[in-house]
Structure 1
Amino acid sequence: MRPLAAVLLATGAILAALALGAAFGETAIPLGIVAKTAANHLFGAGFAVNPIDAGIVWDYRLARAVVAACCGVALALSGVVLQALLRNALADPYVLGISAGASTGAVTVAILGVGAGALSLSAGAFLGALMAFGIVALLARAAGSGAGAVILAGIAGSQLFNALTSFIVTRSANAEQARGIMFWLLGNLSGARWTDVALTLPVAATGALVCLLQVRALDAFTFGADSAASLGVPVRATQILLVSTAALMTAVMVSIVGSIGFVGLVIPHAARFLVGARHWRLVPVSAVMGAVFLVACDIASRVIVPGQVVPIGVVTALIGAPIFALILIRARRLT
């Protein structure tokens, strides 16, 4: 019964987060109305609900909450994968420049029209994320094999791609485009709709499935590539699969909601304190915690300043930075 209880607990936590995400905002809506609206749309229940409240709940808030949950799952699992592959506790898509590369790719497609309409924002972001990771890997290899080399290379790559993004926006965007893109780059869920759910949900679910199928390989990589090879793991193919999965998840989320930091860094560490380092537990717990955390941050972004929406990337940084500091202090005391 323990696995069943864990599944029920995880499902309940995500559903509760989604319900609260649909209930809270500029104007609070009772949870009963949220439940009735969802039942009407999903099961044709026929409850009497005010059309305005139903439109706010279904068309705006619930779609936004689902996108936030998918984004939390994707970023948290990307952090788990990168930390295992690189054997570095500070690795995550934001620190390693993958988010910055995805932002550059998306902005290049949106403003410069690269691809002549053949590339979508997500495709451009994916190519930018892969390019950023490749550059960071080359820099880290040239700098040395130390644990800090990857992080320093990631910081350099992140600054490079952030500068490229700013240059493209400054050089080619008009004033309205520049305002919209700069707000989007800080993390913005205001435009999330059900059409975005149709993209983010399959990507997050597929990424989670890949990570679950590779939990044994992730455990092996925590001891190094040589140890993984000795255990029969096809090292090169698995690395390509996992890095591509992390880059794809990050790119799709960045193309829709912008660059959001600290999720892929803080959530895996918090999950390890709860369930340990074995990935068959770490992967699902990180996914659930990432979903709940980002939905909670989205709620805070809408209510923390009355009448104004704060970029969600600002909220995740304000919450994630102190939490990560506490994690570091606790880890130091335990060693």
Structure 2
Amino acid sequence: MYITISAQKLGGNYSQSVAGYVDYLEKENQIPEQDQKLENFFNQYEDDIIPEEVVQEIDSNTSKLKKIEPKFYSITVNPSQYELRRLEDNSESLKRYTRELMKDYASCFNREINGRAISINDIKYYAKIEHHRTFKGSDFQVKENQEYATKILQLKNDIQKIHRSEKEGNIKKIELQIKQLEKVAPHQQNGSRIVQGMLKEGNQSHIHIIVSRKDVSNSVSLSPGSKYKSSEVEMNGRLVKRGFNRDAFFQKVEKTFDKNFGYQRNYVETYQARKTYIHNPKLYFSAVIGLPASEKAMAMKIVRESGLPILPVIPVSQAQLTVKLIRTLQKSIGVAIRSGSIGI
């Protein structure tokens, strides 16, 4: 489970309206597919919410927020292929999980409203399920294919120059070179070279959640991206709770998923493992090595299926975890286990 939390920006400024983001999230409903069910926005208690209502509710819930402050946050929930299989890629299950996840979100604010803890009923949010993903320019498959893409583009330009009599050459020979480059590019999908914008195959369902910075009463600011972690501070002679417990949130949502769907989570799939990797990679690799044989095999399979290379020889002892080896491993699987959350 990979979850990201981000304040939406346009260039260097925070978005003053959610309209552009809502329009972006409507893109799949504009893809004509006979067997595709339209996915509408929903919140904790309502389904089939129209985009116009989402824009109206979020944009009007920004009392006293300055232009330099986020008006809303985007939470993206990315279940793994294994988790999606457990859900049977079911939209209703994803929707149910979203509603449980947002209860966890509310519970991780170290704030009070009128002397009571924050609850889900204080959170104004709208969510949407998407079933497609496209390859981005930042994806390693696209990056590693770029050398071939550049050569192919050069050859295509050469063909155009030959057509315009600006250059001499054999077009058929160049076309054969292009076909060969297309074929030998390292990353392929269904027999075609992976390029930016290509739809990813397999289950790609994920959840986008738009969360207002202000509570439902439009009077209390609730920021999951606050520079203050869960703490207390003295203000005007009294202790005031503040902040958002990010660690607790990421740990809770995993437990919520596992409990609700009977999922047996492997060590490398856990938030704690990703955090350990970032702060103490040697301890992380030691933990992987120390897993029981079947769990270790599954751990390596999960990392390998993420699409990133892994060393052909897995270290078998603590002594083999040299600094050089750790750096090599970090380079090879870092992206696969990196959490996209704020403030790790």
Larger radius of gyration: 2
Q: Do Structure 1 and Structure 2 share a fold, with TM-score over 0.5?
A: no
Higher helix proportion: 1
Higher strand proportion: 2
Higher relative contact order (CA closer than 8 Å, sequence separation 6+): 1
TM-score scaled by structure 2?
Answer: 0.25
TM-score scaled by structure 1?
Answer: 0.26
